[in-house]
Amino acid sequence: MNFKKLFGFATVAALSVVTLAACAPSSGSKTDENTLKVGIMTRTDATEPLWEKVSDLAEKDGLKLDFVEFTDYSQPNKALANGEIDVNAFQHYNFLNNWNSENKGDLVAAADTLISPLRIFSGLDGEKVKYKTISELPDGAVISVPNDPTNESRALYLLQTAGLIKLNVSGEELATIVNISENPKKLDIKELDASQTAATRTSVDAAIINNNYAVDAGVDYATVLFKEEITPESKQWVNVIAAQKDWEKSDKADAIKTLIKAYQTEEVAKILSDSSNGIDVPAWEAAPSTN
């Protein structure tokens, strides 16, 4: 499906966070040129089939993918910038731009991969959901959100779209809790590491959980209270294949292009959607519809 057409829908199913990236020029051997170190978040049941298919397709074109797994969002870009990996797969444009700004980095997006709308999940009372609709959240409701700058900002904008708060910033400006200008329900927002929000559901009224962690934790998507809408402004939340600056001039350029070619296929688009039960949506230009 064409990427522009994708954003014509009010809501879509989406995915967990995934990106790739490339390393700086190096004087590797022919064997090295045909091997690419790909940094990804720890694989789950949803992402394993995806990377297996990408790896198989790349291998048919003579490229071996060597996956390096990371456990939190602070690691892959550092590894990429240091040349420890050739590419990574975990972030969207907003995260990448913010990381570059905070770390004086110059990593770039080499290709689009997918989009993963953020969701508000109901808290749990034992195994039973506390609420079935967003309007049922009570005054003083406790809501856990990711605490890294981009995901916290995205979570706060989501709460605003849901009608729960108002912010005094807009667009791509990063929001923090100090930017909450109106909080009529006096929500108690708890900032936690993104990997921990899923585990808080029994102690909060609602939790905003990144999809990769939600899937990994076995969160039931029937408990979603509100889902991020897809609009033309959603480009900043599209996950990318990220690379070092001038990657196209490096000795890994052909390998990275092969990786992109392997990823942006109908086969991968179908697996991406099927393995995530429709949570993940391909977002590259001319990506096939998976609806």
Does the pLDDT at position 285 exceed 60? yes
Alpha helices in the chain (DSSP H): 3-6, 30-33, 47-60, 76-81, 93-103, 149-161, 211-216, 253-263, 266-275
pLDDT of residue 172: 81
Q: What is the arithmetic mean of pLDDT over 9-28? A: 35
Does the pLDDT at position 56 exceed 80? yes
**Residue in 84, 70, 79 with CA at minimum distance from that of residue 99:** 79
Q: What is the pTM of this model?
A: 0.74
**In whole numbers, what is the pLDDT of the chain averaged over residues?**
88
pLDDT of residue 283: 92
Quick: pLDDT tens for 244-266.
Answer: 999 999 999 999 999 999 999 99
Domains and CATH numbers, the chain: 3-116+233-282 (3.40.190.10), 119-228 (3.40.190.10)
Give the whole-angstrom CA distance, residue 154 versus residue 94: 9
Quick: pLDDT tens for 79-106.
Answer: 999 999 999 999 999 999 999 999 999 9
Does the pLDDT at position 277 exceed 90? no
Helix (H) or strand (E) holding 181: strand 180-182
pLDDT of residue 122: 98
- Label residue 232 by pLDDT band (50, 70, 90): confident
